[in-house]
Amino acid sequence: MRKKIVAGNWKMNKTYSEAIALVGDIVGSSYDESVQLIVIPPAFYVSEIAKISSSTNVGVGVQNLSEHDSGAFTGELSSKMIQSVGAQYALVGHSERREYFNEKNSDLALKVNQLLADDLTPIYCCGEVLEEREKGNHFNLVKSQIEEGLFHLDKDQMLKTVIAYEPVWAIGTGVTASSDQAQEMHHFIRGLVANKYGVDTADSISILYGGSCKPTNAKELFANADVDGGLIGGASLNAADFIAIANSF
Ligand code: PGA
């Protein structure tokens, strides 16, 4: 059975005291223990948040990392640093990183390598902008994101990776992909993994949906056979909403 995961990407939100209060509310809530909860705060707070969550079922991740090992890269964070403060996960290639920071699939492949070398779990993000969907090019685009960012991995590495499908037109817009649109793309992605690595590997990998996922629509999205949870932005900034989503399986 593959893991059910609900991850909260806090993006550039919350002061330090607000972040500590939010994680305190999350770890103090009751939620389905079979779901892996992950909080992804600003990197600045990860060390403290990892201490607070260490004896709980809540994992901690970062929103980005360098593709380099160490050295003269001012402002960057390495996977070794991230691991050394107790995080276990990192987002790679969120659409905001792709769009505003010009991250390419080839850069993302290197970031994935850094994480896996340090025994951290990449949550590799993919998804199309509206224009690509309207042109009917969304499957091709997601295919190239997956192939160029992940398909250099061997099978064992692939098994340690989580994929998040986030249609860019649904992120922060209040417009969610329909349940059918989500399932269709998740099924497509799992098929790509099956073709390359075999059905057993594809069946073991968690594929999360992201984009305006809320307590009101999570149940319908998570009911799909190939949707294994969510990557939550806005609704993860409120503990009650985040927990309600986690309890939606
Ligand atoms: P949203 O963001 O839930 O606010 O749409 C999702 C994401 O960007 O991961």
Give the mean pLDDT of the chain. Answer: 97
Does residue 69 carry a pLDDT above 90? Answer: yes
Per-residue pLDDT for 1 more than 80?
A: no
Q: Where do the structural domains in the chain lie, given as residue ranges?
A: 4-246
- For the segment 238-242, the average pLDDT, to the nearest whole number, is 98
Does pLDDT of 235 surpass 90? yes
Give the active site residue among 67, 94, 103, 138: 94
Residue nearest to atom 6 of ligand 1 (CA): 233
**Higher-scoring residue by pLDDT: 88, 1:** 88
**pLDDT tier for residue 174 given thresholds of 50, 70 and 90:** confident
Q: What is the pLDDT of residue 90?
A: 98
Superfamily of domain 4-246: Aldolase class I (3.20.20.70)
- CA dist 29 → 54, 190, 213 (Å): 15, 32, 20
Q: Whose CA is nearest to atom 1 of ligand 1?
A: 233
Range 120-146 average pLDDT:
97
- Residue from 171, 241, 245 whose mutation best tests the ligand 1 pocket (most atoms within 8 A of CB): 171
Assess whether 33 carries a catalytic annotation: no
Does the structure show a pLDDT above 90 at 59? yes
pLDDT band at 175 (very low <50, low <70, confident <90, very high): confident
Average pLDDT over residues 182-209: 98
Average pLDDT over residues 79-85: 98
pLDDT of residue 172: 87
Global pTM value: 0.97
pLDDT > 70 fraction of the chain, expressed in percent and rounded: 100
